[in-house]
A and B are shown apart, each in its own frame.
Chain A
Amino acid sequence: DTAVSQTPKYLVTQMGNDKSIKCEQNLGHDTMYWYKQDSKKFLKIMFSYNNKELIINETVPNRFSPKSPDKAHLNLHINSLELGDSAVYFCASSQDAGGGSGAFFGQGTRLTVV
């Protein structure tokens, strides 16, 4: 009974393809996030949703589109993948809107674009 689970764990794809990553949390949290961790291990927020509504949209290319069908799920779709998109993508959730009580992370999706 993993608290925050995301699939797939690994994703290898060619440039130009479209791919999706799915995330689900069973913690009853209201807010979910997507973070990107690059090769230097820097963890940067991309999006956050509070109860299905987008509340944070950092400077992320339009090729990235999050979708939250309900407050327990947050998916990330990426169009026209580029080499620079290679990174580990983490889904996270928190009780409050923004993470003021801390955020809990999924196991990550390692995306490799070749």
Chain B
Amino acid sequence: QKEVEQNSGPLSVPEGAIASLNCTYSDRGSQSFFWYRQYSGKSPELIMSIYSNGDKEDGRFTAQLNKASQYVSLLIRDSQPSDSATYLCAVYLSGGYNKLIFGAGTRLAVHP
């Protein structure tokens, strides 16, 4: 079982819609969760972090965490073509591992 799983996509949404990106993880002891955005040919950019159950909002982005279900998601409201990128979910493995593990990423395409 992969440690961090994401649908590879592409997820195609029309401009102005809500894009919903999902991620599941296997380590129940994980405490820190991150979303990165990576444009083609560029480096991953940290856009959201979440540490406790519930929602965390930052502008058009909302991260949601459910530790009981081992599930973290990212909602992008009012999606823009400039949001088209690959979104990487990352989970911090503690308990002696102490490393950040990435999912394979979901490619998002926002069409006008």
Question: What residues of chain A have their CB less than 8 Å away from a CB belonging to chain B?
Answer: 33, 40-45, 48, 55-56, 90, 94, 97-108
Contact = CB atoms under 8 A, between A and B. Distances in A.
Interface of B: 31-32, 34, 38, 42-46, 49, 86, 88, 90, 92-94, 97-102, 104-105
Interface hub of A44, A55, A98, A107 (most chain B Cβ within 10 A): A98
A83 to B, nearest CB: 21
Contacts of A108: 42-43
A98 B98 contact: yes
B99 A45 contact: yes
Contacts of A41: 38, 86, 104-105
A98 B42 contact: no
A38 B94 CA distance: 25
B92 to A, nearest CB: 5
Contacts of B38: 41
B44 to A, nearest CB: 5
Contacts of B94: 98, 100
B47 to A, nearest CB: 10
